[in-house]
Amino acid sequence: MMASLFPMATGAAYNYAEVMQKALFFYRAQESGTLPSDHPVIWRGDSGISDGKDVNLDLTGGMYDAGDHVKFGLPLASTVSVLAWAVYEFGDALPAELLNEILDIIKWNIDYFVKAHPAPNVFYYQVGNGNADHAFWGSAEVLEEVMTRPSYKVDAGNPGSTVAAGTALSFALASIIFETRDPPYAQTCLNHAEELFDFAYNTKSDAGYREATGFYNSFSGFWDEISAAAAWLYVKTEDPIYLTKAIEGTSYWGKACRNCPEWDYKWTHSWDDKHYMAQIVLARKTLNPVYKESVERNLNYWLPGGGITYSSGGQAHLDQWGSLRYSSNAAFLALIWANDGLCSQSQVKKYKDFAESQINYALGDNPRSSSYVVGFGNNPPKNPHHRTAHGAWFNDIKSPVDNQHVLFGALVGGPKSADDSYVDDRTDYVMNEVACDYNAGFFGALAGLYLEFPGSAGSILANFPSNYFVPEQNRDPEYFVRAIVGSSSGTGYSIVTQTSNRSAWPAKVLSGMHFRFFFSIAEVIGQGKSIGDFSFSTGTNEGGTLNGPFLYDAGSHTYYLEVSFATAIYPAGRTECERRFEFSINGPAGFDPSNDWSYTGLGSGFTYEPVDYSGLTSNIPVYDGSGVLLHGSEPLVCSAICGNGVLDSCELCDGSELGGMTCSGLGYADGTLSCDGSCQFDVSGCSSACVDPNKGVPCTGTTNCCSGVGNCSKGKPANRACQ
């Protein structure tokens, strides 16, 4: 199915407004720094808040590049410039909510660029080491616990004309779109644009742009960025010096072949090559036909039969890496040019049909009848290659099996061959990578299509995203204790626990996590025993401290032990996300765990791998360092009224109500049992019989079990019934 078979319909085939709304959500999910309290992505939290401290600067903010957490300057600048270009071309047609949202996203990143440009000839083009970052699989919110995030700059001695001019381009476009909306801010943008442009133009070198090597090399060089930045500065200022420099740069653009006069036309606008943008602006501003011819040579190449490879399903396939990104970028350029009066009239419809077919392919018009946009359409991708959306706690790309979060609006890379095939596999980063630059041209093309179908291009969703997150009751547990009974006897037991932080809503680093183990000693109170007759000990533990016992409820004789962890627990790996702790409780004869709140339901085994939920119990509640309950429940506090003659569940007795208990039931020979004013058994009326306190039953094997004062047979101490 070739693009020519998809003439532009009379009405939009998809809800383009909804797709744009979700595409902007993706950018919110990428944001770094201190997020506002009303941030729409509830599974994102503050991150990268120490960025820049290594160079005594505040370099917080901006956006993470893709499914990783490096702030790469070159693709981020490209993203911002394309989004601003979309506003410049199609912003007036956007719904007000979407226009305001994209302006906020642009400003969020421009503010970061301002911080990264502390002096005219200094620009911090990257925060985070790419190799170290890619070696870790976890959420952005825990990254600073795992690694340092160095800052890298270009300056006069170590220049980087590509990234400096690319960022000047972003500032220049921002100065234009904010000109009437926020004049002072627009002036700030212009100031930075001109300084960075001068820095790039005067140095004309990328000698200092080294840290991004292997990730975002500048293959096209810096002249395309210089031309594009100068062209937009000319649009803004009308200063002819910028037009002159923009044209100067064209002499160094890549050629279609070694001795060809034509500039390269077999690619499209990208984070690396801005000459496809620059030639459109120069065509408008100079009216020189050489630029128009170059623009249309490029767009015609993308049409069916023009040279680009087409899949049988209709995708114009340029490259395996982010194939949908490139076809979307080409669609964006096609819509810009088709709506320009300079476009050859014979090509207008062809370009529009091409753009619509490529965007609709990504939305579901393909042999798979499936969307390539997360959270939109039929059978969308569920497992994009994105660390924070995955919600991993084990530093493992495969665990959990499914992403915990829906990364709404993210355009995945798509088919890596021109065969329309695709597998939704997080580990296949070629097909499932998502990135800021992937969504930029995609959004721009959607905005252009929205303009093409007034009144039928759909509408934004109400209550998005608030009503579209996974309901809390359906989410995986985040904080909890897993426990088993290590051993038990007639007088006590040992417990093995693992305290877990698998947080993802958002991921959190917690210091001072602690849990409480509740147990009751009510069954030995009638024997004259107290908490002082119990002992507590610890076994294997990973940095925990045992405290207590503490009285929780006098009415039910319930106490608790508290186990606290001073070191941070956070979802970043086996040793980071869980802490093991073993402890024992031993008491007098008759101590029975069956009424112990936290003992209830415990089994005898669970895996020690932090990949499942075996042994999870809600009866061992866990708290953060401030004492806020994170998971589990505490036992009900006894609310009985002692003395009203009604036996409540947490009372041993009340008035004449003894719950069926007798002297013999407590181990005495006979007599009359009564209840005292504290709703405790009064055994003063029971006959004196020697009771073995270790077994809670009368001594046997002798008719005179009490020998001497306070001694049972075999030298065992007698209880108070013998005295």
Cβ-proximal residues to 129 (8 Å cutoff; 6+ apart), any chain: 70, 147, 149, 150, 211
**Which of 69, 117, 269, 385 does the annotation list as catalytic?**
385
* CA distances, 462 to each of 17, 32, 467, 582 (Å): 12, 26, 9, 50
Active-site residue, 101 included: no
Euclidean distance between CA atoms 671 and 669, whole angstroms: 7
The token duo for 325 is 């990104």
**Which of 31, 195, 211, 433 does the annotation list as catalytic?**
433
Cβ-proximal residues to 96 (8 Å cutoff; 6+ apart), any chain: none
Return the SS3 of 10. coil
Q: Which helix (H) or strand (E) segment is 126 a member of? A: strand 122-127
Active-site residue, 317 included: no
* CA distances, 295 to each of 326, 393, 510 (Å): 16, 48, 55
Return the SS3 of 320. coil
* CA distances, 577 to each of 353, 592, 678 (Å): 52, 33, 46
* Nearest C-alpha neighbor of 59 from the set 43, 44, 76: 76
Euclidean distance between CA atoms 560 and 347, whole angstroms: 78
H helices present in 322-457, as ranges: 323-338, 345-363, 387-390, 429-432, 436-452
**Which of 340, 424, 648, 657 does the annotation list as catalytic?**
424
Q: Which helix (H) or strand (E) segment is 622 a member of? A: strand 622-623
- Residue 288 gets the label, from left (phi > 0), alpha (psi -120 to 50) or beta, of beta
The token duo for 125 is 């083009």
Cβ-proximal residues to 16 (8 Å cutoff; 6+ apart), any chain: 446, 449, 450, 453, 457, 458
In one-letter notation, the amino acid at residue 600 is T
Peptide bond into 465 cis (omega under 30): yes
CA triple 358-364-367, angle to 5 deg: 90
As annotated, the active-site residues are 385, 424, 433
